[in-house]
Amino acid sequence: MDRLIHTALNSLANLRDSRVIQAQNLANQTVPGFRRDLANEGDPRFLKALDEASARAFQTERGPHSFSSLPGTMTQTGQPLDVAIAEEGWFYIQPDGGEPALSRRGDLRLTADGQLVNGAGEAMLDQGLQPIQLPPVRALTIDDAGRITFEAQDAPEGQVTEGPVLATVIPQGVELRKSPDGRVRAGDAPLPAPDQRAKVLQGVLEASNVNTMEELVASIELQRSFELNLRMISTAKELDETGSRLLRPPE
């Protein structure tokens, strides 16, 4: 009977992890360029007692969670500091106090000191993986290779200055996954060097690839599975109590 209870408890622990991932996805459904986290299905392992395999099998973690690489919906905004990457590719970012990472987020803005950052305050990097600094600008253009040209406010009208290039990459042969801080990196391996093969779209913003309806339906299924496992534990308890009464000597 304890095998049934431990199996149900192990299933409840896995359901808890899935609920955490779903909550993370739903909380970031409005974040531009967010990539939906996927549940880690784990791998069954048999416990051992006295150097012999027992009949108890538990689902264990296989490693870091993966994420969906499906593109999000592209929306035309017409804003010069809204950018997106068509199809494959990533921007390079520098989180505050963290290692460089990759991102699809393109809701850019200029800070008071002229640094180009995204909506999360992460610095956008150039081809040398250095934060991009710009002077006060009157107009700004970003071509499909990520090259920035602008009209400085203190320059004559119509005088265009060529600025830095938004670093982009289409990784090949690299397994990307999210670090504990939620940023996309290459695990323990270094990030690939910028190759500028990604196509940058100006005036376009990519939404997250989280499907709200899909997450809500999955949440209902998880709740049903949770209730079923609780029912299994209650049934195991009733069977154990019934068996104990049958083995009890008559009074």
Q: Which residues contact 218 (CB under 8 A, 6 or more apart)?
A: 18, 22
Question: Taking a C-beta distance cutoff of 8 angstroms, is the pair 63, 100 a contact?
Answer: no
Distance CA 244, CA 50 (A): 27
Question: Taking a C-beta distance cutoff of 8 angstroms, is the pair 33, 69 a contact?
Answer: no
Distance CA 141, CA 79 (A): 10
**Domain assignments of the chain as residue spans, ordered by start:** 2-67+210-247, 74-206
Distance CA 165, CA 149 (A): 9
Q: Any idea which residue has 């700004």 for tokens?
A: 140
* Positions of the chain with pLDDT lower than 50, given as ranges: none
DSSP string, 104-153: ---B-EE-TTSBEE-TTSPEEB-TTS-B-B---EEEEEE-TT-EEEEEET
CA atoms in the 13 A half-sphere facing the CB of 210: 24
Q: Which residues on neighbouring strands pair with residue 206, listed in sequence order?
A: 74
**How much is the pLDDT for 233?**
72
C-alpha closest to that of 198 among 44, 109, 113, 90: 90
* Whole-structure pTM value: 0.78
CA atoms in the 13 A half-sphere facing the CB of 228: 9
Q: How far apart are the first and last CA of the chain?
A: 26
C-alpha closest to that of 214 among 59, 43, 25, 85: 25
Question: Taking a C-beta distance cutoff of 8 angstroms, is the pair 162, 45 a contact?
Answer: no
**How much is the pLDDT for 123?**
96
